[in-house]
């Protein structure tokens, strides 16, 4: 990671050291086992809570440490740089996405009930947007929530849900008014122990193998109307408000992972011999590494700029979309070139660069595809 980044201070440096120690002690010894299993151990969640890695932006009155989003960013960066994409994704969905919705739109009762449990790792949270027939076009969702007295009755199916096997609480994007267009959608909290809720299969993915990603089924799931998160019909406005932060988290994850790929590749080419000399001494290698390092330097500068804007409440949809688009596309180019330097060994999963290559691909898809980012950016030309 780059030293002396002005966006951070000494408190964040201390947290960074803590995250590194946690990753080395609690994740590294069992990471390969979890990659094969397709899911992390549930015990990692309370351990992360005890270490202060969960929802650090939550105010002290709800059990958090009262940090700002830079604390979240430290957790994202360090877990991504460690190469632990699965746990990094799981924690980020919980910390940076779900927690944000509860902080911004939750009632006082909802905050008091759920935030302390999320901080402690007692409750794992997921957000359910995507459906089998609906990805980036959220207005096409079909999951219905029908008001029945003091309850909502929810029916539908979601897919590609991170924390989908582990979650205790789901923020479900539902349609409460079939004729309301974008204003007919609502966010509803669904406890996964309610009758009619069912976990689907844990999906078999290209990368992020230890992150449980699932289908979820809602078969006439009855929840109290008090589980409405925000206002009825307010889901689209809430999503548009929170998505810039989600896209910034993806940019942070992406550039930290790209930095890791670059660092291990630089070390490898200085050791690997071809034609009697280190691969890293060839002009082609040096020039390509120079290009990659330049991309990283520019990327870090822009991501830090966006992070500073976000802390001040000034991050726009367009800036966050630019950060996600440029960083994830750069990450894809970088990790492809880095793998090439490893030759045939880069194609073997026992080499870390192989896993980093596979893990990078989804970052151009979730949180809004690169094509959607271009569409959003083009509206501000």
Please say whether the beta carbons of 178 and 144 come within 8 A.
Answer: yes
**Cross-strand partners of 214:** 161, 202
Determine which one of 246, 271, 352, 375 is catalytic.
246
Q: Is 57 left (phi over 0), alpha (psi -120 to 50) or beta?
A: alpha
Give the gyration radius of the chain's Cα atoms. 21
Strand, helix or coil at 62?
helix
The dihedrals phi and psi of 26, each to the nearest 5 degrees, come to -105, -25
Is residue 246 annotated as part of the catalytic site, yes or no? yes
Give burial (CB, 10 Å; 0-12/13-18/19+) of 69. Answer: buried
Residues designated catalytic: 246
């Amino acid at each position: 990671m780059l030293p002396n980044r002005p966006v951070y201070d000494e408190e964040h440096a201390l947290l960074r050291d803590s995250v590194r120690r946690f990753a080395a002690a609690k994740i590294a010894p069992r990471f390969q086992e979890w990659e094969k299993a397709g899911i992390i151990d549930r015990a990692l969640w309370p351990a992360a809570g005890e270490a202060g890695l969960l929802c650090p932006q939550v105010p002290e009155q709800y059990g958090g440490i009262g940090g700002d989003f830079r604390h979240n960013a430290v957790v994202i960066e360090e877990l991504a740089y460690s190469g632990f994409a699965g746990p990094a994704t799981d924690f980020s969905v919980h910390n940076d996405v779900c927690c944000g919705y509860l902080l911004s739109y939750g009632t006082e009762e909802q905050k008091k009930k759920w935030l302390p449990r999320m901080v402690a790792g007692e409750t794992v949270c997921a957000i359910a947007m995507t459906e089998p027939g609906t990805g980036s076009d959220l207005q096409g969702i079909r999951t219905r929530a029908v008001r029945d007295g003091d309850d909502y009755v929810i029916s539908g199916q979601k897919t590609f849900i991170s924390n989908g096997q582990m979650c205790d609480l789901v923020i479900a994007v539902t349609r409460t008014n079939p004729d309301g267009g974008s204003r007919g959608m609502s966010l509803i909290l669904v406890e996964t122990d309610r009758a009619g809720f069912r976990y689907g299969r844990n999906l078999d993915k290209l990368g992020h193998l230890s992150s449980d990603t699932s289908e979820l089924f809602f078969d006439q799931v009855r929840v109290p109307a008090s589980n409405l998160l925000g206002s009825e019909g307010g889901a689209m406005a809430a999503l548009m408000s929170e998505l810039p932060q989600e896209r910034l988290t993806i940019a942070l994850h992406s550039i930290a992972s790209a930095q890791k790929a670059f660092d291990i590749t630089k070390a490898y080419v200085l050791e690997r011999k071809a034609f009697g000399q280190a691969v890293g001494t060839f002009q082609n290698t040096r020039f390509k590494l120079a290009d990659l390092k330049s991309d990283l330097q520019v990327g870090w500068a822009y991501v830090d700029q966006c992070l500073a804007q976000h802390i001040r409440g000034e991050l726009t949809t367009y800036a966050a979309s630019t950060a996600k688009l440029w960083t994830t596309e750069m990450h894809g180019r970088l990790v492809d070139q880095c793998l090439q330097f490893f030759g045939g060994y880069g194609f073997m999963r026992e080499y870390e660069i192989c896993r980093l290559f596979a893990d990078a691909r989804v970052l151009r898809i979730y949180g809004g595809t690169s094509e959607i980012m271009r569409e959003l950016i083009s509206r501000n030309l």
